[in-house]
Structure 1
Amino acid sequence: MKLNKSNYFSLDADRHYMSVSQFKSFLPVYGGCEARAMAKLHGEYVQKETDAFLIGKYVHAWNEGTLAEFKADNPSLYSSRGSTAGQLKSEFKAANVMIEKLESDSLIMKALAGQKEVIFTAELFGLEWKIMIDSYQPNFTAAAGIFTDLKTTQDLNKLVYNSLLRQYEHFIVAYGYNVQFAVYAEIEKQATGRDEWLIPHMVAITKQDPPDKELYQFDYEDITAALNIVRNNIDRVKEVKSGKALAVRCEECDYCRSTKRIIKPKRFAELAVY
């Protein structure tokens, strides 16, 4: 299957290729659920687009240079009632402030320059993977190339509680962004035949008032460590996606709640919290 921007996020592409988001969707440690992931691949579940999700897409459209088209294609960005009818909703006005914050920083804009939404495919751990890089600069300097991904988040300093591991984590680790950049580096390296990884960067902009921002760099040690996370978990993901193993329900996500059936009573003694 040949990928382009029109079919990259299609169900057929997700069935044919593995992606970082799909990989994480199978893993409980990233809030994933095997049953929900398989329901999505079978076309039985569609994730709802929240305002938070749309804000991220709004800022990404700016980076890609397609914000005008994005606004035209998404009338829900605009208020339809009262004195504010026809105006951007407050959350998307805040997104404009986020964009202004990014535009005012020369180093961030330098990191976000280059080719936009670049697609690569390659084999990794016995599966075909797809990636789409936000900003791609393979010849950033004579010595090294870089790629950069743009993320919107709540707070750069907020620690996220992982209920499975029962510990707090930096949002980059909690949301698996380190895994994303490692896979991107390896897939790009294989697809282009280069000898070394490009240096991954992440631009983060918060939804606070005023927004905070940061530019993170990932080193080769970070890439190696995160690829090991994929290596240690990919066999189970492959078995479930291929249908060789039965998907496990988490019984906590929206999909499991909506399809839950009571088979037997739960004993009160099982409710102890440790």
Structure 2
Amino acid sequence: MKLTKDNYYSNEANRHYMSVSQFKNFTPAFGGCEARALAEVNGEYEQESSTAFDEGHYLHAWNEGILEEFKTSNPHLFSSQGKTKGQLKANFKHCNKMIEVLENDPLVMEALAGQKEVIMTSKLFGIDWKIMIDSYQPEIRVFTDLKAIKEMDGKWWNKEAQVYENFLDHYGYIIQMSVYAEVERLATGRGYEKWCVPHMVIVTKQDPPDHEIIAFDFDTIVQHLQIVSNHIERVKAVKTGKEKPNRCEKCEYCRQTKKIQRVKHFSEFSLY
């Protein structure tokens, strides 16, 4: 299957290819639910588009240089009533503040230079993967992913591991950068461990926004590709129907389709 920007996120593409987001959706360690992930791949369930999803697309449209087209194609970004009718909604006005912060930082603009929204595919762990790189500079072997998040400070609880994590571990961003590095290396035919250096540009939704540029070393890529390797056989077995998916009983899909199988003892309910 040949991937384009038009079909990259389609059900057909998701059935044919593994992606980092799909891998995380199948993996409880990254907040995934096997039952929901399989239903999504099979076209039986679709999560509603969230405000955060639209804000991310707004930021990426700016990075790609098509923000005005994006706004024209998405009238729901604008208020439709009252004194603010025809104006950008408040959260997207704040996205403009985030963009201004990035535009005013020369090192950020350096990191975000290059080719935009570059699609690549390669076979990894015995299956086909797809990636879309936000900003790609092959001549200096650097690529950059752009992320808008609520905040960078703080700690996030991983219930399965029973530990607190930073945002990079909790949201699987290091996994993403490692897989992107390996798929790009394989797709371009470079030798073993001759990766591009992965970077992330992070901008927060705080007022005023905070921002950072984060780089990842090659040892980290090796370690996190091993983490993917540790989980991928289970993911493949569930996606292909060889194993029955487990339900988390907490996500939107599980709540919608829940049928109680047994009565729980009160001691099964824990704070974390």
Would you say same fold, with TM above 0.5?
A: yes
DSSP-derived class of the 1:7 partner: coil
Distance 2:271 2:148 in 1: 34
Distance 1:250 1:222 in 2: 29
Give 1:266 shift: 2.4
In structure 2, the partner of 1:178 is: 174
In structure 2, the partner of 1:88 is: 88
Distance 2:223 2:18 in 1: 20
DSSP-derived class of the 2:259 partner: coil
Distance 2:238 2:88 in 1: 43
| Identical-pair percentage | 57
Deviations 1:63-109 (A, max 9, x none): 01111111112111111121001100100000000000000000010
Matches within 5 A, 1:35-46: 35-46=35-46
Give 1:265 shift: 2.5
In structure 1, the partner of 2:48 is: 48
Q: In the alignment, is residue 28 of structure 1 matched against residue 24 of structure 2?
A: no
Distance 1:245 1:50 in 2: 31
Q: 2:159 aligns with which of 154, 158, 163?
A: 163
Q: 1:189 aligns with which of 182, 185, 192?
A: 185
Q: 2:265 aligns with which of 261, 264, 267?
A: 267
In structure 2, the partner of 1:17 is: 17
Q: 5+ residue gaps in structure 2? A: none
Distance 1:40 1:216 in 2: 31
Matches within 5 A, 1:92-131: 92-131=92-131
DSSP-derived class of the 1:139 partner: helix
Aligned residues: 270
In structure 2, the partner of 1:77 is: 77
Distance 2:266 2:200 in 1: 46
Matches within 5 A, 1:233-272: 233-271=231-269
Deviations 1:178-206 (A, max 9, x none): 00110111011011111310000000000
Amino acid at match of 1:258: Q
Amino acid at match of 1:26: F
CA 1:273–1:50: 2 relative to 1, 3 Å: closer
Deviations 1:99-152 (A, max 9, x none): 000000000100100000001111000000000000000112xxxx10000000
Amino acid at match of 1:99: I
After TM superposition, the score normalised by the length of structure 1 is 0.96
Amino acid at match of 1:30: F
In structure 2, the partner of 1:198 is: 196
DSSP-derived class of the 1:129 partner: strand
Amino acid at match of 1:105: D
Amino acid at match of 2:135: S
Name which of structure 1's ranges 160-169 and 185-194 shifts more when overlaid on structure 2. 160-169
Q: 5+ residue gaps in structure 1? A: none
